[in-house]
Structure 1
Amino acid sequence: MKQALRDGQQDVDLVGQPPQAGEVRSHVGGEVLFFAPKPLPTAKISEGGIGESNQIIAMNDVYLDFGQSNNGKAYQVQVVQFINSVGILTMLCIFLLAAHLNGNRYGTEGMFWYYLIELMRTELFVWGLLCFTELIGWFAVVQTTWQKSRQRPIRFHRQRREVCYYPQGSDTPVIAPWEEVIAWCGTHQGFTGDAIVNNATFGMAIPTPDGKDYWVLKKPVMLVSEAQRTWEVIRCYMEEPAENWAKPAEPETTKTFENEREVNWIFFQRGPKHWFKVDFFTPYLSYPGMVGYYLFHILTFWKLPYWVSQWDQKFTMASYPPSIEAWSQPLPPEQWAQPSAELESQKAALKEHMAAGGTLATFYQANAGNKQGELSNHIECHSSK
């Protein structure tokens, strides 16, 4: 990333043409809506805060570590093990059937075991393919953990109103002012060869030490509202009182599996129980559902995926150097950094604008005269919910 953000098919200049919160910039195939600098809310905050977020690694009254938790790692391992377990069972069934048919054909005692052993010994290609598939799956499991460990979480210091990040693969921390962070949601269309698909991205650009460029974090999201929520997790922590903060999601451990199994069993015992109602997410509703639930976990080696998830959590939790640990310490209230007068003025005006039914994009449009694009309509729909 040098001087411009590439989102979709066209560069969006961040240095030569600094963005403003609420600004919508069009590019070939899509748009970019900026949430910051001068971080502004994207919607009215609902009562009770934002709920849980699996992107919060650690959080207290002083700082928030934003990154990627181990949620989903157990499922990744389960997919790998399930595919290979089904493959092995399928081949064993084929070998057993072939040995049975050959044994009956010749009618000689002991021919079944002879043919079974011969098939398993001679079909080395099949066993090699299954082993190769297993290795590929576990390579993906380890590689994603390794990649995550190479990028430390971004630390947001609430009291200092500063951000600490590590450039990709670097061991040198960089600290930047919070209000200078650029955040956005970008949309663009892609062509798969058969259909046109819409893609969304959440991104942040944090100034480099010389102030001439930006370090960029980009994260694909399913919906524009997901990018909006990701931003609000960070912004609410830095700008809003504690009752509006998101809560960290519990990390995946073997205890997660034990609790889930216990809950399913309790609900199954209480009933009602059905014979033909099967739902992967609520297996306790039926007998086949519970049989499938236990069979799935047996084929995926029971607690193994959750042991791997625990390992992922420990391996990727890189420690910070003493200088950053000192920087992360709480400050006396009289030393807390305060929002800029410009930000306070914009927030007050935006809250009044939103109370009247407006949005961040229409607020910018009213103040800067920019044309509102399609992306701002997505935000407006989400904000009105």
Structure 2
Amino acid sequence: MEIAYLSPMPVPTGVLPFSARQLHSYANEVFLDFALSRGSFEFMARAGIGAVMFLLIFLFFTTGFGSWLRRDVEPFWSSWLDFFTSIAVWGFVGALATLYLCVFFFAIRQASNQPPIRFNCQRREVIFVPKKGISPRYVPWEEVIASVSVSKLMTQYAVIPEFKLMIGLRDKNGDVLWASVPSGNLNQAIAEWEAIRVYMEEGPQALPMGQSDEFEAGSVAYFHMCRQGYRSHHSFLRYIWGFLIIQFFSGWTIPCYIAAWINNRPKAAFPKEVLEWSKPLPLEQHAMPSEALLKESAEIRKAFAKGQNLLDYFKVKFAEPDKEPAVDAS
């Protein structure tokens, strides 16, 4: 796994802000709420449906092959039907499906019982409630940890790249609460963080505006937009085998409706002190960025103007100075 840190010291990343989570829908002049998007639940539902369907298809062909091998002993069709419809087979499938449902509903319950992470741009603070009933914890904005990770998931069929944005909030005891946000690629993970950063530094007017809230990742409209994009960039045969069949056996748009239902469920309310903390402040009481952040941001923007990226800037900044040649004292 490779990890690149973008913060603390939330400096510009040089990437255009973009959010597949439609962050502008959860932001106002004072705060932005950041929680699991419907896309995360849509993926979980699709993975569960796909796993069960894969198991059923596998058992269907396996039992058929076994019945074909025993066709001299028992009639093929009756043997196959008896084997595939046996209580043992469906009991095994049902047990796995029930186990996944328990995990899925536990995740829904956790998301419903935990308030989102709230970013307050006027106070330049972030608040999170680890669990319901626990006192909220406040973290200065410039101490929020942000990183992007690139890893590889190795299977017997392929090596699948995984990209995540990770946001870390350190409390007074030094413990860090991490929120992981899966992303489609590295650029998208950085752009998601940049959207949060520009909100905290410039306000809600700096947030990227989506075409419509219905195009949030995990929605039905987003699914069909992806389908049309896949069709326009691939051949018809690849579109059938690489998209239609896979998506059909993983539920088609059913996971999108499940995610929409979860997204519309009532979330846990913030404690009273957080609601007070979230009220607007007079302009003269707005917190200002530190001198160190302003200086660092200005230097990075100069580096961007010279064609460097964020990684190039830090490589130059933290490079060890060349050692001076030794002087012969003789």
Shift of 1:69: 0.8
* Pick aligned residue for 2:35 from 62, 67, 80: 67
Is residue 289 of structure 2 the alignment partner of residue 339 of structure 1?
A: yes
Shift of 1:177: 1.4
Q: Unaligned stretches of 5+ in structure 1?
A: 1-7, 9-29, 107-111, 266-271, 284-288, 372-385
- Is the 8 Å Cα contact of residues 28 and 204 (structure 2) preserved in structure 1? no
* Pick aligned residue for 1:127 from 90, 100, 115: 90
- Is the 8 Å Cα contact of residues 114 and 267 (structure 2) preserved in structure 1? no
Is residue 239 of structure 2 the alignment partner of residue 279 of structure 1?
A: yes
Q: Unaligned stretches of 5+ in structure 2?
A: 322-330
Shift of 1:231: 2.2
Matching residue's letter, 1:217: W
Shift of 1:259: 8.8
Is residue 237 of structure 2 the alignment partner of residue 237 of structure 1?
A: no
Find the structure with the greater CA-based Rg.
1
Q: How does 1:157-306 map to 2 (within 5 A)?
A: 157-167=120-130, 171-185=134-148, 202-208=165-171, 210=172, 213-217=174-178, 219=180, 223-240=185-202, 242-247=204-209, 250=213, 256-257=219-220, 277=237, 279=239, 296=248, 300=251, 305-306=255-256
- When residues 178 and 85 of structure 1 are mapped into structure 2, their CA distance, relative to the original with a 3 A threshold, is closer
- When residues 252 and 126 of structure 1 are mapped into structure 2, their CA distance, relative to the original with a 3 A threshold, is farther
* Pick aligned residue for 2:261 from 311, 317, 323: 311
Aligned-partner SS, 2:289: coil
| Matches of 1:196 and 1:258, distance apart in 2 | 30
Is residue 1 of structure 2 the alignment partner of residue 34 of structure 1?
A: no
- Output the aligned Cα RMSD: 5.0
- Is the 8 Å Cα contact of residues 183 and 205 (structure 1) preserved in structure 2? yes
Aligned-partner SS, 1:233: helix
Shift of 1:182: 2.8
- When residues 174 and 76 of structure 1 are mapped into structure 2, their CA distance, relative to the original with a 3 A threshold, is closer
Alignment partner, residue 136 of structure 1? 99
Matching residue's letter, 2:239: D
Shift of 1:161: 0.7
- When residues 194 and 137 of structure 1 are mapped into structure 2, their CA distance, relative to the original with a 3 A threshold, is closer
Alignment partner, residue 381 of structure 1? none
Deviations 1:53-96 (A, max 9, x none): 3284722221111221121433533443455467668759x89x
Percent identity at matched positions? 23
Deviations 1:19-72 (A, max 9, x none): xxxxxxxxxxx5x543222211121x54xxx23332847222211112211214
Matching residue's letter, 2:208: A
Q: TM-score, normalised by structure 2?
A: 0.68
Aligned-partner SS, 1:318: coil
Q: TM-score, normalised by structure 1?
A: 0.60
| Matches of 1:173 and 1:262, distance apart in 2 | 39
Shift of 1:174: 0.8
Shift of 1:346: 1.9
- Count of residues paired in the alignment: 306
